Amino acid sequence: MNKDSIMQMLSDAGAIIVDSHIVYTSGRHGSAYVNKDSLYLHTNTTSELCKLMASKYDADKIDVVVGPTIGGVVLSQWVAHHLNAKRTSGETLSIYAEKDGEGEDKKIDIKRGYDLCIPNKNVLVVEDVLTTGGSAKKVIEAVRALGGNVIALSVLCNRGNITDKDVADTKIDALTTVNLESFPEESCPLCEKKMPINTSVGKGKAFLAKQGATV
């Protein structure tokens, strides 16, 4: 399946928003957004995309699949499911990593006994959308700190032009790539046109509240 077909699947699931006025987490503005939460409503589409993610690897050589909460949990389950369907023996486990602490300095840890599944194992890290790569990098570092061997980082969409170097020198396998043009608030052409800000996704609601506008 080519990347155009994958983009169509995401669009059909409502996961690609275009021609809108989005406020991103960074504070910059743009006209497009990848809404992965809409994808997870559709189990058949999610399963099919995760099957494509799993198809890139030798199932017998992946011991564990791990993703960050929340979206990465769904991907971890489905990718491990499809890897297990191809295994000739044994089992690929599905686990997740979770945030520990608050603010920008919060860590991502592997707990709940899942940490015991990592040492000396081949691990596939999964993520839905790469924007800065920060969360994925923390998961990779957590796996390596426990003695796991990270095979690759498999993602649905690389929207931030993230490179292997950005995620602790880990090979990135992305189903698709979306380049989202963005602008500083003070020079946003969408603001100049007085285009309404989307408050359903991104940080639009918080942005308007900060401006004193009624949401």
How confident is the model over 1-35, as pLDDT tens digits? 888 899 999 999 999 898 999 998 778 999 988 89
List domains and CATH numbers for the chain: 3-211 (3.40.50.2020)
Looking at residue 190, its pLDDT comes to 96
Looking at residue 159, its pLDDT comes to 86
Q: Where do runs of H (alpha helix) occur along 70-215?
A: 71-86, 134-145, 189-192, 204-211
Looking at residue 212, its pLDDT comes to 77
* pLDDT for 69 beyond 80: yes
> In Å, what is the CA distance from 35 to each residue of 41, 69, 124?
11, 16, 23
Write the Ramachandran bin of 213: left for phi over 0, alpha for psi from -120 to 50, otherwise beta.
beta
* pLDDT for 214 beyond 70: no
* Mean pLDDT, residues 68-79: 94
Structure tokens belonging to residue 75? 């991907």
